[in-house]
Amino acid sequence: MTNDDGTVRILIADDHEMIRHGLRNIIERHEKWQVCGEASSGREAVELARKLMPRVVIVDLIMPELNGVETTRQIKKYLPNTEVLVLSVHESGQLIHQALESGARGYLVKSDLARHILDAIEALVQHQLYFTGSVSNMMLGTYLSREPQAVDEDNSPTKLTQREREVIQLLVEGYPNKSVAQQLDLSVKTVETHRAAIMRKLEIHSTAGLVRYAVRNSIIAA
């Protein structure tokens, strides 16, 4: 979590090199913070987090192989004391709900990065929640309105198992069943079984339907 000299280790996970570079430059101006690693995919982020055990992980919501919500969920499963800050280009009540449900302690819109990233990291280092005013207002508005579409539990990715969420992301990214099986260390038959279960649970009957579902739930970018 911290080095012997008290330096806080921070892991950055974003598939855009410029974002990672910019965050590293900002973070390492702080004398007690150190970027211990960078990941360009969700799966790599989980692997590095387990290896490096950072205090804070900064995770982009949309990443290849494993989206930010699922990445957060897996990191928190293995490292419950590591705090996760989710970055997104969207202010969405549903996405914020998903991020919190996965175990994130902060949610920051990328347009606010320059103004708020230092305060956000400082809060998470202290194991505190961090949201900007606009995100907090959106969360409150969603709670007060209690509109059914704000959080559609029947259509939520949490309806699927962890393995099914991993399978659907790879499938909609265009990987054939054989490649999915290789990446997840499964048999092709098992991947086909997961695919059938996904489509049955979500009442989806085509690959195009899976893609639309993935875009709506920010599993992949539109």
Distance CA 141, CA 90 (A): 16
- Domains of the chain in start order, with CATH, are 8-145 (3.40.50.2300), 153-216 (1.10.10.10)
Bridge partners (DSSP) of residue 38 are 12
Confidence at residue 138, expressed as pLDDT on a 0 to 100 scale: 61
pLDDT value at 104 more than 70: yes
- Nearest CA among 90, 208, 95 for reference residue 156: 95
Distance CA 172, CA 105 (A): 28
pLDDT, average across residues 98-102: 86
pLDDT value at 152 more than 50: no
Confidence category of residue 71, pLDDT binned at 50, 70, 90? very high
Distance CA 48, CA 27 (A): 18
- Nearest CA among 166, 154, 162, 170 for reference residue 204: 154
Residue 112 CB contacts under 8 Å (≥ 6 apart), including other chains? 132, 134
- Nearest CA among 85, 128, 129 for reference residue 110: 85
Confidence at residue 148, expressed as pLDDT on a 0 to 100 scale: 44
Q: What is the pTM of this model?
A: 0.74
User: How, if at all, do strands 56-60 and 8-13 pair?
Assistant: parallel
Confidence at residue 26, expressed as pLDDT on a 0 to 100 scale: 93
Bridge partners (DSSP) of residue 108 are 87
Confidence at residue 139, expressed as pLDDT on a 0 to 100 scale: 60
- Nearest CA among 121, 220, 216 for reference residue 172: 220
pLDDT, average across residues 46-67: 95
End-to-end CA distance of the chain: 35
Distance CA 196, CA 200 (A): 6
> For the segment 79-90, what is each residue's pLDDT rounded down to a tens digit?
999 999 999 887
Choice among 35-44, 92-101, 147-156 with the minimum mean pLDDT: 147-156
Distance CA 178, CA 170 (A): 11
Confidence at residue 75, expressed as pLDDT on a 0 to 100 scale: 96
> For the segment 105-114, what is each residue's pLDDT rounded down to a tens digit?
999 988 888 8
3-state secondary structure of 175: coil
> For the segment 154-187, what is each residue's pLDDT rounded down to a tens digit?
555 667 888 898 898 888 888 888 889 998 999 9
Confidence at residue 141, expressed as pLDDT on a 0 to 100 scale: 55
